[in-house]
Amino acid sequence: MLTERYLQIFVALADEQHFGDAARVVGITQPPLSQGLRRLEAMVGAKLFERGLGRVELTAAGAALLPYARRALGAIDEFHHAAVAQDPEGPEIRLGLAPEVPASVGAAVAAACGEAVPGSRVTAVSAPTSALVSQVSSGRLGLAVVLHPAVLDGLQAGPVTLLRTWALVPTSLHPDDGQPLPLRKLDGLPIAVRPRAEAPAARDLFLDTLALHRPAGGTVVVTDDRAALAMAAAAQAILITPDDSLQATGIGRHRLADDPLPVRLRLVWPHPGTPTSLPPEAIPHLTQALATP
């Protein structure tokens, strides 16, 4: 049976031209994405992509079918929006949160959504910035808190909020004396970073700033802050995070002198008239909730 998920995989691969990036957009891992593509190709009886070294390209059959897949997903979205409009329980606000958003900040924005649209039901999902921008653009989310800078594909965006960060460092490397620590003194271990594809522009800014203030030491890629915290606890990495709830035995928390690596967040939402768009009068309340974590 041809399902919405197969169409999502097809369109994401066509847009991203990379299995790993497409999997993040769809919100799954790479093995089920590859399996879904094989099943879709078996159903349509045609090869849709040519696999190259790290990239994929549409075949002639894939290029011919892609417009139909986009229209089908658009029709499914319209159906979902119409169903929500008929829901007697009130409208649903779908909020996206980048993984870097601290839990307290995400909760404040979610609460503000409910206050701004009385009677609404708020659901929240977490996904990388690149996936959230795509989902807000397609109407699958009503708004999202994403990393800045990011390519926003024509979305509307609120002001940038800067969150101060902590450096979580093994106490064996730097005892926690309560004093701000210059970034250049964070030597001896690599800095944990998330994959670049999740938020390319924001990651590049982070790495450029890191190289300017800390030319030696390198970085190590991690899947999330929990993995980074585990590596820090094992004296394998240093974690830079805005989340003041993260802690572990043997880990010291240091403010960085002059705050060179703040996490930059902003709220993004579709233009008015989009089926998932929020009432314009609700936006100032939501941007204020993000600006005062």
Q: Are residues 154 and 269 in the same domain?
A: yes
Residues 125 and 203 in one domain: no
- Region 285-291: mean pLDDT is 86
pLDDT digits over 32-51, tens only? 888 999 999 999 999 999 98
Task: Band the pLDDT of 76: cuts 50, 70, 90.
Answer: confident
Q: Point out the domain boundary residue: 19, 49, 84.
A: 84
**Distance (Å, rounded) from C-alpha 148 to C-alpha 96?**
15
Q: What whole-number percentage of the chain has pLDDT above 70?
A: 92
Q: Is 249 left (phi over 0), alpha (psi -120 to 50) or beta?
A: beta
pLDDT at 104: 92
Question: How much of the chain, in percent, has pLDDT values that exceed 90?
Answer: 49
Please determine, for residue 192, whether its predicted confidence score (pLDDT) is greater than 90: yes
Q: Which tokens is 172 given?
A: 């064996």
Same domain, 28 and 145: no
As a whole number, mean pLDDT of residues 199-227 equals 92
Q: Are residues 21 and 153 in the same domain?
A: no
Pick the more confident residue, 156 or 119. 156
Say if residue 56 is in the same domain as residue 140: no
pLDDT category, 210, cuts 50, 70, 90? very high
Residues listed for the chain: 293
Q: Report angle CA 126, 130, 132 to the nearest 5 degrees.
A: 40
Asked if the model's pLDDT at residue 100 lies above 90, the reply is yes
Last residue of a domain, one of 33, 68, 84: 84
186 shares its domain with 152: no
Q: Average of pLDDT values for 205-216?
A: 92
Report yes or no: 136 and 143 within 8 Å, Cβ to Cβ.
Answer: yes
Q: What is the pLDDT of residue 240?
A: 96
Comparison of pLDDT for 208 and 278, the residue scoring more: 208
How confident is the prediction for the chain on average, in pLDDT?
87
* pLDDT, position 80: 64
Mean pLDDT, range 198-211, rounded to an integer: 94
CB 233 within 8 A of CB 162: no
Residues 137 and 172 in one domain: no
- Quick check: 20 pLDDT over 90? no
Q: What is the pLDDT of residue 84?
A: 55
Do 257 and 270 lie in a common domain? Answer: no
**pLDDT for the residue numbered 186:** 86
Q: What pLDDT is recorded for position 88?
A: 52
- What is the band of 139 on the pLDDT scale with cuts at 50, 70, 90? confident
Same-domain status, 134 and 274: yes
Among 84, 116, 131, which residue terminates a domain? 84
Mean pLDDT across 178-196: 89
Look at 221 and 4; give whichever has higher pLDDT. Answer: 221
The pLDDT assigned to 63 comes to: 93
Overall number of domains in the chain: 3
Question: Does the reported pTM lie above 0.75?
Answer: no
Range of the domain at 102: 90-159+265-291
Q: Are residues 169 and 245 in the same domain?
A: yes
Token duo for residue 15 = 């847009």
- My answer on whether 153 and 280 are in the same domain is yes
The average pLDDT across 241-250 equals 90
The domain that holds 114 is classified in CATH as: 3.40.190.10
Q: What is the CATH number of the domain that holds 8?
A: 1.10.10.10
| 175 and 257 assigned to the same domain | yes
Angle at which helix 4-16 crosses helix 30-44, to 10 degrees, equals 110
